Structure 1
Amino acid sequence: MPPKEDAEFNALKKEIEALKETIKGTATSNKDKTLEELSGSLGDPPRVKLSTKKTLKGHIHKVNCVDFAGDNRHLVSASLDGKLIVWDTWTGNKVQIIPLRSSWVMSCCFAKSGNFVASGGMDNMATVHDLNNRDSSGAAKVIRELAGYDGFLSSCKFVDDRRLLTGSGDMKICQWDLESGKRTLELYGHAGDVVTLSLCPGDENIFVTGSVDQTSKLWDLRQKSFVQSFWGHTSDVNSVCFHPSSLAFASASEDKTARFFDLRADQQLGQYQTPGTATSFTCCTLSKSGRHIIAGCDDSTIHAFDMLKTTHLGSLSGHENRITSLSMTDSGLGLASSSWDQHVRIWI
């Protein structure tokens, strides 16, 4: 890449920024009403009054990620203590403790079937464990170590028991065949670390990603490329979450805003900030109805917003440090949060 002071580079950069502004202007001109105007006649949703049902204690270092299995009961958490813990959230008991080769784990995910968990981080590798088989030490057996990254593994999601999607610090997204251990797709499009990804609930070929390049992108595995780009954030996009309708998604950013993007409108429809002193958002999820956006912050609080009216509906307190991850059960009846305070909380 030419140096920034290079005249040609600066000219191209200005041209790209001008094109972005043109696209934004065209999208804005096509918007005849705001989300707030359209939802003004709707009744207010109930305020969020979740409380901590269980506090899961077992990690001895920062917990960076949590993810529910498809049974709405079991949860996996990943911590810088070098452990994955599989929890029974109904009883609060540990089901399995899985030691990792690297303690610098940044992401984890649970297969909906409950058969597998995957994790990765600064070891530049995705590791898949089979929860139904044990190794000689009694821990869940490692069935795949997926190498081939030039940067840290920041995010991972099971498409199904045979396929895994990963995002990494080398700006690429990979799809892996877990039966062969081979990479079947390698996708590029972001201009910075791919930090987060979320699968479309209605189509396993569609997913959305967020990046430190301040954009979110919609991808189609059949086309082997991204099909839409979404601008608006002015800092790193830390988290994205597909809407249950499959027609929109929410995002959370270091720029102290959470936002709501509609795929059909090809633009942002809503923007959300904490009341009083704004704080950076680290993660987000959506309620089963899609009406509530729930976002975690770096000041240890979790906030809920009315997606339609963009109003603040309440906050959840209990953690004592930065919120790192949120996971909603498929049933929509339970929420898990992880934090640098070394704990996982289950909210109902």
Structure 2
Amino acid sequence: MPPKVDPETAELRKELEQLYEKLKEEQKKVADATLESVCSGVADAPKVRLTTKRLMKGHINKVNSVHYSGDSKHCVTGSLDGKLIIWDTHTGNKVQVIPLRSAWVMSVAYATSGNYVACGGMDNMCTVYDLNNRDSSGAAKIIRELAGYEGFLSSCRFLEDKKILTGSGDMKICQWDLETGRKTVDFMAHNGDVVSISLSPDGNTYVTGSVDKTCRLWDIREQNPKQTFFGHESDVNCVCYHPSGNAFVTGSEDKSARMFDIRSDQQIALYEPPNKSSGFTSCGLSKSGRFLLCGSDDNNVHIWDTLKNQHNGVLSGHENRITSLSVAPNGVGIATCSWDQHVRVWG
């Protein structure tokens, strides 16, 4: 049985719904064109023909997260087998295998410099490793264990080598100074688990997605959201900034992907697969922003031409749900990981 809601809360929820509907009406008034109509004169994009360049085997359980280094060559993956693996995506070889203290890893991050990786999950902690220093066992050295979350760690991203941003199941966003191991920022960000974080190209702002069905835009220096974006009908599982810095894309449990424009403060495109059967777990954009790629529960990566809103095809190969997708900073490769225990690099 659902929990009983007291009358005051019910009244506030009703008021909130009314404000939300009013907001949608105001947005519709200024939405004078669709992205497809504005781009009708643009030539159709060519069919994307990506193939698996590397099938990287090494994990022995579900792989939950993948993230590229700034060199577009190395990536890190985290798996429920209790290991982080640093891969050379050009050769498909393992560079380092890092044993974790907790196997319940849900998110990984690679510092742009390539010097550090971070991970966390159901251990309610963010652990940071120095790839250039080894401990007595020969594994990368732990330099920080950042505790103090009341929920699982869902996402983390390095702002720079000594600063990291985290989102968690306790609805909070925290910034950490890795030199001191202390929080510099700690605040409630959403009305549900924070699930995904994407940094802007200039590093001054970031976008978050949450199970509260909203996305929010934040300034690195502030604790209040600059904008809140509505539209999804279920959990927002992933967010990804557009290379222009003026928009971002999302993937959701509601079986749709969307593009939100920051300047017009609203959704400008809705992307749906031909067979709307599965939710989206992860998303990324090509270097130009023309192609949207979304990892799905149906084991495929779906591709759209963002401007023409045309489904451009799928990348097939994984044998279970795709959990995470990372586009190389130089735009040349895409790494995906899956519950099938494998990591694929597409190019």
Same fold (TM over 0.5): yes
Structure 2 residue identity aligned to 1:113: S
Shift of residue 187, structure 1, vs aligned partner: 2.3
Separation (CA, whole Å) in 2 of partners of 1:173 and 1:162? 17
Shift of residue 4, structure 1, vs aligned partner: 4.2
Match of 2:275 in 1: 276
Shift of residue 28, structure 1, vs aligned partner: 1.0
1:308 aligns with 2:336: no
Match of 1:61 in 2: 61
Match of 1:258 in 2: 257
1:295 aligns with 2:297: no
Separation (CA, whole Å) in 2 of partners of 1:222 and 1:6? 37
Matches within 5 A, 1:71-90: 71-90=71-90
> How far does the alpha carbon of each residue in 1:90-140 deviate from its partner, in whole angstroms, 9 at most, with x for none?
111100000000000000010010000000000000000000000000000
Match of 1:168 in 2: 168
Separation (CA, whole Å) in 1 of partners of 2:189 and 2:132? 37
TM-score of the pair, normalised by structure 2: 0.98
Match of 1:225 in 2: 224
Structure 2 residue identity aligned to 1:305: W
> How far does the alpha carbon of each residue in 1:183-206 deviate from its partner, in whole angstroms, 9 at most, with x for none?
00012230000000000012x220
Match of 1:122 in 2: 122
1:155 aligns with 2:150: no
Confirm or deny: 8 A CA contact 1:252 1:284 kept in the other structure.
Answer: yes
Structure 2 residue identity aligned to 1:212: V
Separation (CA, whole Å) in 2 of partners of 1:273 and 1:235? 14
Structure 2 residue identity aligned to 1:119: C
Separation (CA, whole Å) in 2 of partners of 1:248 and 1:187? 24
Number of aligned residues: 345
Confirm or deny: 8 A CA contact 1:188 1:225 kept in the other structure.
Answer: no
Separation (CA, whole Å) in 2 of partners of 1:144 and 1:30? 48
Separation (CA, whole Å) in 1 of partners of 2:141 and 2:190? 34
> How far does the alpha carbon of each residue in 1:6-31 deviate from its partner, in whole angstroms, 9 at most, with x for none?
22111110000110111111011101
- The gaps in structure 2 that reach 5 residues or longer are none
1:326 aligns with 2:346: no
Is 4-13 or 151-160 further displaced after alignment?
Answer: 4-13
Separation (CA, whole Å) in 1 of partners of 2:229 and 2:344? 32
Separation (CA, whole Å) in 1 of partners of 2:58 and 2:222? 43
Cα RMSD, aligned residues only: 0.8
Separation (CA, whole Å) in 2 of partners of 1:225 and 1:4? 31
Separation (CA, whole Å) in 2 of partners of 1:56 and 1:344? 5
Confirm or deny: 8 A CA contact 2:280 2:296 kept in the other structure.
Answer: yes
- The gaps in structure 1 that reach 5 residues or longer are none
Confirm or deny: 8 A CA contact 1:4 1:10 kept in the other structure.
Answer: no
TM-score of the pair, normalised by structure 1: 0.98
Match of 1:94 in 2: 94
Separation (CA, whole Å) in 2 of partners of 1:324 and 1:28? 34
Separation (CA, whole Å) in 2 of partners of 1:187 and 1:208? 15
Separation (CA, whole Å) in 2 of partners of 1:4 and 1:310? 43
Matches within 5 A, 1:192-231: 192-202=192-202, 204-231=203-230
Structure 2 residue identity aligned to 1:200: S
Is 42-51 or 114-123 further displaced after alignment?
Answer: 42-51
